[in-house]
Structure 1
Amino acid sequence: MNEIVSLLMQHRSVRAFEGSPLPEEDLRVIVAAGQMASTSSNVQAYSVIAVTDPALRRELSVLTGNQEYVETCAVFLVWCADLNRLSHAAAKYIPDGSDTYADSAENFIVATVDAALAAQNAAIAAESMGYGVCYIGGIRNRIAEVSALLNVPELAYPVFGMCVGVPGQLSGQRPRLPVDAVLHMNAYDAEKALGSVADYDETMTRYLRMRTDGRKSTPWTEIMAEWLTRPNRLHMLDFLNSKGFLKR
């Protein structure tokens, strides 16, 4: 196992940070590493907002579900899918009266995937520099308020946040599904995947029992059943439509 693979295999979310600031030079290196991620057709359809202002961080910690580490990390990065910059930059070359497709479902996917790929590159870069990270999907809990607070324009939206800072405490590493549950050779094999999921239920039951001193041992599939039946962030479609996405 080489050094990079070893680093990847050690990943864990960090939710407790020291008070150390993140030097701007390190921030720029982390974002530059993110920019080297693959991007569809070189559109680079993402932006990242580095939130360092304490008052803004306090508001964001509330808007994300009272997650205090949004406020206590060294810097909070808000990764945005962004077709606004591209639309304006290319406008001078688009003939008058010509239609554009920035509002299409496909281009929404392109921008969202681009943001995710860049963020993961940045996360790995940050970890290689000794920092810890934690993705914050709660940025979408009250996404209209977050967008207004951060002045996110039309054809752009916050996909997720990311806490970055010097770890104050390392949490345990949560087991992942077996490789055989996600790796299919030449064609999708649902039966093999489900067999591996059954093994994972046993792994997660043992993990939770150990982590909670026996207070919890819920199988992963039971936890996922609750997740699937929970109406989570159903406001997102209307919000994305309001920002000019998913029109066709």
Structure 2
Amino acid sequence: MNEVIETILNHRSLRHFEDKPLTAEQIKTIVTCAQSASTSSFIQAYSIIGVKDKEKKKKLAEIAGNQEYVEKNGHFFIFCADLYRHITIGENEHINVSPSIESTEKFMVALIDASLAAQNAAIAAESMGLGICYIGGIRNNLDEVKKILKTPERVIPLFGLAIGVPTKLTEKKPRLPYDHIYHEDEYEQDKEVYLSQLQNYDNLISSYYEERTGGKRKDRWTEQMAIMLDRKSRMYMKEFIQKNKLDLK
């Protein structure tokens, strides 16, 4: 096992950081690593916004559900699906690219490109001894986030990435069983096998929580998911995306 694999396997979300900003060199390294990620057809349909302004970070923390680590970290990155530059390219080249830009396929490309770039950034940061935490809570109110970041049409802030020097380490959460995630040749549809894998994972997660909380918590993963998915959240997203001239057909 090499250092890269060890870094990846050692991942855990960290939420407590030193009050110490990242250096310009660290920021550039992380962003450059993000840019080295694969990109569909070389389209590079994403942008990264680094937020240093304390007032903006405070507002973003409030939007994300008053998550303190959005405000207090070494640097806060926001990854955006970005097809604004491509519509601009079309205008400059006198080619109508709107039908392609306003398609579900290109919207998916932008989401995938941004996600690949973000994971490169996360691994780079962790390899530098920094801690990271993805923040999906900025999607609680994207209209307000766009105002704060002054993003144009066809740019969708997707999630944040808080990075900093960690002050507190947490235990790694066990992931789903290998055999439940990895299917060979075809999808495993034997319900008995499928449910057995989930039950084994439930037992593992329940024990993890019980040990971590001293017996105060021992809920199952499937229980968590069912309760979470029973609550509707961010149901405005389709309308928001269409309003920003993406994924119209």
- TM exceeding 0.5: yes
1:40 maps to what in 2?
40
Q: Give how far 1:99 is off.
A: 5.1
Q: Give how far 1:208 is off.
A: 0.8
| Mapping of residues 1-248 of structure 1, within 5 Å | 1-95=1-95, 100-191=99-190, 192-248=193-249
Q: Give how far 1:98 is off.
A: 6.7
CA distance in 2 between partners of 1:112 and 1:193 (Å): 29
1:157-197: CA deviations, max 9, x gaps?
Answer: 01100101100111111110011111000000033443321
Of residues 31-40 and 190-199 in structure 1, the stretch that sits farther from structure 2 once superposed is 190-199
Identity of aligned residues (%): 43
Query: What secondary structure, in the 3-state scheme, does the structure 2 residue paired with 1:160 have?
Result: strand
Q: Does structure 2 retain, via aligned residues, the 8 Å contact 1:180–1:193?
A: no
Q: Does structure 1 retain, via aligned residues, the 8 Å contact 2:210–2:216?
A: yes
CA distance in 2 between partners of 1:91 and 1:100 (Å): 13
1:74-112: CA deviations, max 9, x gaps?
Answer: 1110100000012212333243x6753211111111000
Q: Give how far 1:140 is off.
A: 0.1
Amino acid at match of 1:245: L
Q: Does structure 2 retain, via aligned residues, the 8 Å contact 1:17–1:72?
A: yes
Query: What secondary structure, in the 3-state scheme, does the structure 2 residue paired with 1:142 have?
Result: helix
Q: Does structure 1 retain, via aligned residues, the 8 Å contact 2:78–2:160?
A: yes
Q: Name the CA shift for 1:156/1:98 in 2 (closer, same or farther; >3 Å).
A: closer
Q: Does structure 1 retain, via aligned residues, the 8 Å contact 2:206–2:220?
A: yes
CA distance in 1 between partners of 2:20 and 2:98 (Å): 49
CA distance in 2 between partners of 1:3 and 1:194 (Å): 35
1:5-30: CA deviations, max 9, x gaps?
Answer: 11111000110001121001110110
CA distance in 1 between partners of 2:138 and 2:66 (Å): 11
Q: Does structure 2 retain, via aligned residues, the 8 Å contact 1:182–1:193?
A: no
Q: Name the CA shift for 1:212/1:86 in 2 (closer, same or farther; >3 Å).
A: same
Query: What secondary structure, in the 3-state scheme, does the structure 2 residue paired with 1:210 have?
Result: helix
- Superposition RMSD in Å: 1.2
- Structure 2's unaligned 5+ residue stretches are none
Q: Does structure 1 retain, via aligned residues, the 8 Å contact 2:19–2:73?
A: yes
1:40-98: CA deviations, max 9, x gaps?
Answer: 00000000000011111111111111001111101110100000012212333243x67
Could you state the TM-score of these two structures normalised by the residue count of structure 2? Answer: 0.96
CA distance in 1 between partners of 2:174 and 2:97 (Å): 51
Query: What secondary structure, in the 3-state scheme, does the structure 2 residue paired with 1:101 have?
Result: helix
CA distance in 2 between partners of 1:193 and 1:4 (Å): 32
Q: Name the CA shift for 1:201/1:100 in 2 (closer, same or farther; >3 Å).
A: same
CA distance in 2 between partners of 1:210 and 1:39 (Å): 41
Could you state the TM-score of these two structures normalised by the residue count of structure 1? Answer: 0.96
Query: What secondary structure, in the 3-state scheme, does the structure 1 residue paired with 2:99 have?
Result: coil
